[in-house]
Amino acid sequence: MSGPTGHDVAMEPTGEQLAALHASGDAGPVVMLNLLRFKDRATGIDAADGITGAEAYGRYGVHAQRFLAGAGGRVLHTLSPHESVIGPVPGEWDLVLVVEYPSRQAFLAMISDPDYLAIHEHRAAGLADSRLIACSSLTA
C-alpha cells in the first residue's frame, strides 16, 4: 500500500527485519530513529472515542514509558518537523523520536512482551505511516 508521498506505508517490522536485528553482532547501545505520521482520526481500539491519531499515539506513549524504562531505554529527543528542505513538500512526518536502548536484545525483549503488545494497539490506532531505523552512534 502506498501513502500520500508515493512510498509504501510501513507500520510493523517484517519477520525478516526482526531476524536481522536479532542476528546483528552489535551488542552495544542502539538508537532507534522513529519517523511518525498520524492519522487524522484514530481507528481500531481508539475509534469509538473520536480522537485524533496524535491523541491515540499519546495514549500509547504514556503506557509505553514503563516498558521503555524496564528495558533500560530512554527518549533522547522528541522533535516536531517543520519545513522540508530536501524531500517532499509538504514534509512526510509529524513527529520524530530518537530513543536509545542498551542493546538490540533489550529492544526486542520489550516489543515481544505480551503486556507491551496490548498497549501497542494505541500506536497502530494512531499512525498512518512510520519508519523505525536502528542506528549506532558515531560519537562517544
Global pTM reads 0.85
Lowest average pLDDT, out of 3-17, 28-42, 126-140, goes to 3-17
Q: What percent of the chain has pLDDT over 70?
A: 90
Question: Is 12 part of a structural domain of the chain?
Answer: no
Q: How many domains does the chain have?
A: 1
Domain, as residue range, for 129: 26-135
b (16+ CB within 10 A) / e for 88-117: eeeebbbbebebbbebbebbbbbbeeeebe
Distance, in Å, from the CA atom of 92 to the CA atom of 139, rounded to the nearest integer, reads: 28
Question: Is 140 part of a structural domain of the chain?
Answer: no
Grid cell at residue 9? 506505508
Question: Is 68 part of a structural domain of the chain?
Answer: yes
Question: Is 124 part of a structural domain of the chain?
Answer: yes
pLDDT tens digits along 97-125 = 999 999 999 999 999 999 999 999 999 99
Looking at residue 65, which CATH number applies to its domain?
A: 3.30.70.100
Question: Is 86 part of a structural domain of the chain?
Answer: yes
CB 137 within 8 A of CB 31: yes
Q: How far is CA 23 from CA 16, 27, 55, in A?
A: 10, 10, 35
* Dihedral angle computed from the Cα positions of residues 33, 37, 39 and 42, in that order, rounded to the nearest 10 degrees: 20
Q: Using 50, 70 and 90 to split pLDDT, how confident is the model at 3?
A: very low
